[in-house]
Amino acid sequence: MAKRFPESIEVFAHKVLLNRSLNFAVVGLDHVVPRSRGGADTWENLVWSAKDVNQRKADRLPHEAGLRLLAVPRAPKELPVSALLRNAHGVAEWKLFLNE
């Protein structure tokens, strides 16, 4: 079963795009399978799209609108929090908890 696309991810993604100086009047999220056709709000069904392309696609599938995906949408790989922890200062006691 596909994981539901978190509502907060759109806010996060918009911040990422703002940091890259893109205009939100031009870019937005699009459902590959439209919600009107039973498409879900999942990682595997959402892609970034130019808003004019999204409007032209309307409630059709990409191939019906003469479009093709540049990549297959997929959920990001999950990392355990411990994968992000580092022992930068070489504290000996921390080595018990980290894979170093």
Residues 47-71 have pLDDT tens digits of 988 888 999 999 999 999 999 999 9
In a domain, 12, yes or no: yes
Q: Is residue 63 domain-resident? A: yes
For residue 42, being part of any structural domain is answered with yes
Total domain count, the chain:
1
Q: How far is CA 30 from the centre of its chain?
A: 11
Residue at 1 is within a domain: no
**DSSP class of residue 62?**
G
**Segments in 25-96 forming alpha helices (H):** 51-57
Decide if 77 is inside a domain.
Answer: yes
Residue 35 lies in a domain: yes
The verdict on residue 84 lying in a domain is yes
Domain that holds residue 14: 7-96
What does pTM read for this prediction?
A: 0.58
Higher pLDDT, residue 63 or 85: 63
